[in-house]
Structure 1
């Protein structure tokens, strides 16, 4: 299936998301913050089908990560996750570079369905 970089500062959620997406055959790498994720993106030359990142994180938040990732890899599909209304509002300004913003909490089934839709939309 697809290659996905999952970024969240909560290890348990990051692991749960990666395991849930692996159920659909996706190859998932994980990072604990935006800076680590950007390092991975650079090392892998942006070879991911999807960057799935939390917005609110220490060091580099998901919005800064999305902006940096698009600057280096304009074709990268980006999806954000947040449990905070004010972060969702901040993400509205990124509509041109972000494919979807998922509101936490979500079920693994909702996540899998949304990721599949976002990836299919980016391919087609």
Structure 2
């Protein structure tokens, strides 16, 4: 399955999402804010199949993390999450960097489905590029 990074400052959301995705067979790493998420991305040399990140976090928000990660590893797939309408609007400026924005709160089936769709989209892009 896929190697995922979940970046979320709310421990209960982070743990819930990680467990749900691990049950699908994914290898899941976690980070508690954007700075730690960016560190994990850099340490892994961008080798994540998908980064799933909250937008609003202390230290470094998800948008800043996504911008820095995209500069270091163009094409790294990033799915953002937010419960705030104004943050969703900020994310719309990142269409070239992010795949989608998941509205919080979400159910376990919703996060599983959105991650599966994002991974499927990345697979079809990779296959098209290889052809």
Q: TM-score range by the shorter chain?
A: over 0.9
Residue 120 of structure 1 aligns to a residue in which SS? helix
Query: Which residue of structure 1 lines up, in the alignment, with residue 127 of structure 2?
Result: none
Counterparts in 2 of 1:86-105, with a 5 A limit? Answer: 86-105=86-105
What is the Cα-based RMSD across aligned positions, in Å?
0.6
Report the Cα offset of residue 96 of structure 1: 1.2
- TM normalised by structure 1 equals 0.98
Query: Which residue of structure 2 lines up, in the alignment, with residue 61 of structure 1?
Result: 61
Q: Are 1:47 and 2:52 an aligned pair?
A: no
Structure possessing the higher radius of gyration over alpha carbons: 2
- TM normalised by structure 2 equals 0.93
- Note the residue ranges of structure 1 that are not aligned, 5 or more in a row: none
Report the Cα offset of residue 23 of structure 1: 1.2
How many residue pairs get aligned? The number is 124
2-side partners of 1:19 and 1:82: how far apart? 19
Query: Which residue of structure 2 lines up, in the alignment, with residue 79 of structure 1?
Result: 79
> Runs (4+) of structure 1 moved beyond 2 Å?
none
Q: Are 1:25 and 2:33 an aligned pair?
A: no
